[in-house]
Structure 1
Amino acid sequence: MSEYSTTALKMTRSFDVPPEKVFDAWLNQEMMKKWFFTLERTNKVAQNNPQVGGTWEIVDHRDGKDYRAIGEYIEMNRPKKIVFTFQMPQFSELTDTLIVELKDTQQGCEMTFTQNIVVPHEENWTQADIEQALKEYHDGSEHGWNLMFMGLKELVETGKISYQG
């Protein structure tokens, strides 16, 4: 399938902790399995090699199925920026790029998150079909990240996540 479009999702979140703490929550396996595409009670695999060229993998078990997310680190500048790929091979061979940028604030830090989303086209799609798919992928991704970022905020600020799905 060679036809696809892209859309960008950009979100900003504030944390009452230094950027180093949020940066580490993206890369520490023990922290990742509590919020990153998984919850601690449903996580089956959390593997990470947090360096440029290194890979990560999360396997979450929900509703009797395993969901696998994988990627590779492209850029890392602690505690300011992480750029990495994201793919769920069971759904698509296409790869998104995720960018996490952190900056100091008086209260702690601000995270700007960008997901460059690749949306595959179906045969015979019209421009309206493409626009609808872009909106659905964008909005679906935004919903998922909103939930994950609530967990991330609670984890870095309190050390645990109370909501467990």
Structure 2
Amino acid sequence: MDNISTTTLTMKREFSVTPERVFDAWLNPEMMRKWFFTLEGTNKVAQNDPQVGGTWEIVDHREGKDYQALGEYLEIDPPNKLVFTYKMPQFSELEDTITVELKEISAGCEMTFTQLIHVSPEEGWTQTDIEKALGEYHDGTEHGWNLMFMGLKELLETGEVSYKG
């Protein structure tokens, strides 16, 4: 797997709850099944073993297909930092690395989310093709996380996610 190109996505969000509540939403399977790569109505699996070396898995069923997201926890420092791998094997065997950092602010909590996105160029791609793909992966990933973070905010601040997919 030589010749892997990378781009970094960084997003910040504020929540009117404590860092502990946000941290828990990343690790608690009952919370995960409502916002993390899935919605409660389409979720088939939400499981994890939240310890360094432990794994997590989400399986979402949409339009007749199962979509699996999974990874391994690399660092867990409650309620400040969470680092884990992420991949969707049906699309690529490449693993991205995600870092979630939380800090208390006067209004509640600020979350800084960083994803190191890996793209494997296809045979014959030029540098322009690689840059285009990195941009598309970055923008598509940002769009997906933005939707998830809207659901996370709603879940944490109201107790439920109104968007049903």
Alignment TM-score, normalising by the size of structure 2? 0.99
- Residue of structure 2 equivalent to 1:84: 84
Deviations 1:33-80 (A, max 9, x none): 000000000000001101111000000000100000000000000000
Distance 1:132 1:41 in 2: 35
Deviations 1:9-44 (A, max 9, x none): 000000000000000000000000000000000000
**Residue in 2 that maps onto 1:4:** 4
1:69 equivalent to 2:69? Answer yes
Aligned to 1:48: 48
Moved over 4 A (4+): none
Task: Tell me which amino acid in the other structure corresponds to 1:109.
Answer: C
Distance across 1 between alignment mates of 2:98 and 2:26: 11
Instruction: Report how far residue 2 of structure 1 moved.
Output: 3.0
Which residue of 2 is the match for residue 120 of structure 1?
120
2:142 is equivalent to residue 142 of structure 1: yes
CA–CA distance in 2 between the matches of 1:127 and 1:53? 36
Distance (Å, rounded) in 1 between the aligned partners of 2:47 and 2:76: 17
The Cα shift of 1:83 comes to 0.1
User: Match for 1:37: what amino acid?
Assistant: F
Tell me the equivalent position of 1:151.
151
Secondary structure at the aligned position of 1:92 is classed as coil
Cα separation, 2, equivalents of 1:66 and 1:34:
16
Return the letter of the residue paired with 1:56.
Answer: W
Q: Structure 2: how far apart are the matches of 1:37 and 1:91? A: 15
1:34 partner letter:
K
Question: In structure 1, what is the Cα distance between the partners aligned to 2:148 and 2:46?
Answer: 16
> Tell me, what secondary structure is at the counterpart of 2:114?
strand
Alignment-derived partner of residue 57 in structure 2? 57
Give the 3-state SS of the residue equivalent to 1:128 in structure 2: helix
1:102 aligns with 2:86: no
| CA RMSD between the two structures | 0.6
Shift of 1:124: 1.0
SS of alignment partner, residue 112 of structure 1: strand
Query: How big is the shift at 1:4?
Result: 1.6
Structure 1 residues without counterparts, runs of 5 or longer: none
